[in-house]
């Protein structure tokens, strides 16, 4: 991965860069799904970090989850610049995972991955991630990389002991970086759980169960994720940020899906249909998304 350099002035996410890098043309199409909500300050930089990938054969699907700031106008600027971008606007706020599922219905890629509206992806993220998979003969069907969480002033969000999730005490395994082979995600796993938070890890757990082993980890730091006060991560009720710790609703959601996975999940019932016809386990109230809200967003 090319070293990071800082350019210009202004907000940190707008200054991340590298030296010019050669483009990689051809290869499988990658669909990058990016749900956004009230992200007018960061959405252009987050989107451009995908559109500036050295891996050129991609599409970026942006879903505005009923923002009430200037996010939608920023998204329209993005789509006007690049015909690889597809956008849609939810009528009702349903959270990032229902938004991802709606975008997945339109995704054309051979591989599917994600991006958040306050993330910066290294320009070689997709090239190195999918490149490593292809070198393994395409036997890998799901894979993750690492991220660094950073405060808006450039300080690391946290430094902790080495663990299964921490590469060096700073770099963390990134749920949103998960790269899925399309047929594995769509045909065998189905969709993300229709919860308002925490569903990336639930999907990764189902993927590991389905293939009988943990999903592949590519040991590269491919993303910088900003630790913003208003982000989902820092919500006091369902976040995971250092300010509030693991929110009570996220903890309850984690317990609920872990219990169902351990006690009731089988290869025959682990595929989640979308829109969902039923739930396999009860959601905490703050995670719940109504069927009516989901249906309201199914048509443009």
Adjacent-strand bridge partners of 84: none
Domain limits, the chain? 5-296
Predicted local distance difference test score (pLDDT) of residue 297: 98
Query: Please, are residues 216 and 144 in contact by the beta-carbon 8 Å criterion?
Result: yes
Which tens digit of pLDDT belongs to each residue from 17-55?
A: 999 999 999 999 999 999 999 999 999 999 999 999 999
- The residue with tokens 């189905």 is 190
C-alpha span between 59 and 34 (Å, rounded): 11
Mean per-residue pLDDT over the chain, rounded? 93
**Residue 76: which pLDDT band, with cuts at 50, 70 and 90?**
very high
**Residue 234: which pLDDT band, with cuts at 50, 70 and 90?**
low
Position with higher pLDDT, 230 vs 72: 72
Predicted local distance difference test score (pLDDT) of residue 84: 99
Radius of gyration of the chain (CA): 18
- Return the percentage of the chain with pLDDT > 90, whole number: 82
Task: Copy the structure tokens of residue 177.
Answer: 């970086």
Predicted local distance difference test score (pLDDT) of residue 138: 76
Verdict on whether the full-model pTM lies above 0.85: yes
Taking each helix axis as running N to C, give the angle between helix 71-81 and helix 43-51, from 0 to 180 degrees, rounded to the nearest 10: 20
C-alpha span between 236 and 289 (Å, rounded): 19
CATH of 5-296, one of 3.30.565.10, 3.40.50.2000, 3.40.50.720, 3.90.550.10: 3.90.550.10
Position with higher pLDDT, 163 vs 289: 289
Predicted local distance difference test score (pLDDT) of residue 156: 82
**Residue 240: which pLDDT band, with cuts at 50, 70 and 90?**
low
Return the ∠ at Cα 236 (arms to 232 and 238), rounded to 5°: 55
The pLDDT of residue 168 is above 60:
yes
The pLDDT of residue 241 is above 70:
no
Instruction: Reduce the secondary structure of 106-142 to three states and give it as a string.
Output: CCCCCEEEECCCCEEECCCHHHHHHHHHHHCCCCCCE
- Average pLDDT, integer, range 155-175: 82
The pLDDT of residue 276 is above 70:
yes
- Return the percentage of the chain with pLDDT > 70, whole number: 93
């Amino acid at each position: 991965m090319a070293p990071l350099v800082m350019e210009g002035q202004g907000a940190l996410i707008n200054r991340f860069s590298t030296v010019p890098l050669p483009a990689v043309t051809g290869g499988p199409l990658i669909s990058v799904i990016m749900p956004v909500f009230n992200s007018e300050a960061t959405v252009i930089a987050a989107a451009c970090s995908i559109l500036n990938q050295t891996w050129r054969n991609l599409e970026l699907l942006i879903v505005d989850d009923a923002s009430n700031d200037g996010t939608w106008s920023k998204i329209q600027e993005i789509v006007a610049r690049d015909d690889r971008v597809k956008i849609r606007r939810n009528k009702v706020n349903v959270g990032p995972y229902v938004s991802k599922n709606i975008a997945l219905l339109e995704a054309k890629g051979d591989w599917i991955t994600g991006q958040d509206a306050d993330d910066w992806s290294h320009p070689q993220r997709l090239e190195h991630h999918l490149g490593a998979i292809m070198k393994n003969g395409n036997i890998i069907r799901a894979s993750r990389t690492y991220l660094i969480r950073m405060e808006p002033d450039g300080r690391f969000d946290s430094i902790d002991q080495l663990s299964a999730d921490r590469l060096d005490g700073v770099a963390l395994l990134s749920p949103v970086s998960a790269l899925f082979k399309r047929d594995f995600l769509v045909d065998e796993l189905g969709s993300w759980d229709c919860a308002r938070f925490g569903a990336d890890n639930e999907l990764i757990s189902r993927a590991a169960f389905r293939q009988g082993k943990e999903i592949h980890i590519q040991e590269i730091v491919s993303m910088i994720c900003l630790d913003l006060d208003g982000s989902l991560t820092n919500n006091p009720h369902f976040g995971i940020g250092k300010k509030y710790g693991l929110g009570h609703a996220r903890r309850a959601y984690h317990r609920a899906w872990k219990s169902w996975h351990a006690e009731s999940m089988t290869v025959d019932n682990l595929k989640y249909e979308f829109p969902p016809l039923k739930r396999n386990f009860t959601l905490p109230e703050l995670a719940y998304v109504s069927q009516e809200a989901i249906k309201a967003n199914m048509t443009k």
